[in-house]
Amino acid sequence: MAFELPPLPYAKDALAPHISENTLDFHYGKHHNAYVTNLNNLLDNDSRSLEEIMKDTAGDAAKAGVFNNAAQVWNHTFYWHSMKPNGGGKPTGAIADKINADFGSYEKFAEEFKAAGATQFGSGWAWLVLDGGKLKVTKTPNAACPLTDGATPLLTMDVWEHAYYLDFQNRRPDYIATFLDHLINWDFANENLAKA
């Protein structure tokens, strides 16, 4: 069974002016699509889910190509859903209560999340995860995903340069602030928390 590029959950111009249609043309249309194509070229009618492939190949140097492409398909799909038009700002619902309980305040969470994104050297991801019943902010390099370490991802922010360079150039901290203030999808985090 070949994997397919999942549809975006919104139109390519729906995140503008914060993330431009031009960025999504490249990031989704070229980068994300290339990971799907590469994964299909590496696998022959594999019936496993992306999650199963990731868990089966994580840490196996001989299968690094399969892991990297499978994880990038999964991570990017998760990232698109971690944003929404007119998103951002403080959370509501169960995730708001859990953030206050585990971080002390939204502001403390935002501080940790910004630091994770800003200090991820090179390419990678900043995550809000549920790990051992507690919310944590973490970061991963390259294609790595907390899913393969037993944590439950609730939200992610892509900090590979192709996620923001056309709109923010080298100003990663501005992209991170924009993600939190205008894009983050707390409804998606609440859905993932409810399923955890």
pLDDT digits (tens, 9 = 90+) for 89-122: 999 999 999 999 999 999 999 999 999 999 999 9
Residue 89 belongs to some domain of the structure:
no
SS3 133: coil
- Does one domain contain both 166 and 113? yes
Number of domains comprising the chain: 2
**How far, in Å, CA of 166 to CA of 140, rounded?**
23
CATH label of the domain that carries residue 59: 1.10.287.990
* Residues 77 and 99 reside in one and the same domain: no
pLDDT of residue 188: 98
Residues 48 and 121 in one domain: no
pTM: 0.96
Question: Is residue 178 located within the same domain as residue 133?
Answer: yes
pLDDT at 14 over 80: yes
Answer whether residue 139 is part of any domain. Answer: yes
Class of residue 118 by CB neighbours under 10 A (exposed 0-12, middle 13-18, buried 19+): middle
Does residue 152 contact residue 46 with C-beta atoms inside 8 Å? no
CATH at residue 157: 3.55.40.20
Q: Same domain, yes or no, for 117 and 164? A: yes
Q: Tens of pLDDT along 142-185?
A: 999 999 999 999 999 999 999 999 999 999 999 999 999 999 99
Write the single-letter amino acid at 176: I
Residue 107 is predicted with a pLDDT of 98
- Mark out the alpha helices in 82-129 (DSSP H runs): 94-103, 106-119
E strand residue ranges, 132-166:
134-141, 152-158
Assess whether pLDDT exceeds 80 at residue 1.
no
The range of the structural domain enclosing residue 132 comes to 94-195
Q: What is the token pair recorded at 115?
A: 């630091």
Q: Could you tell me if 58 and 107 lie in one domain?
A: no
Domain termination residue (choose one: 48, 81, 114): 81
pLDDT digits 0-9 by tens, 51-78: 999 999 999 999 999 999 999 999 999 9
Mark whether 76 and 102 lie in a shared domain: no
Main-chain dihedrals φ then ψ at residue 116, nearest 5 degrees? -60, -45
Cα distances (Å, whole numbers) of residue 185 to 26, 86, 97, 188: 22, 9, 16, 6
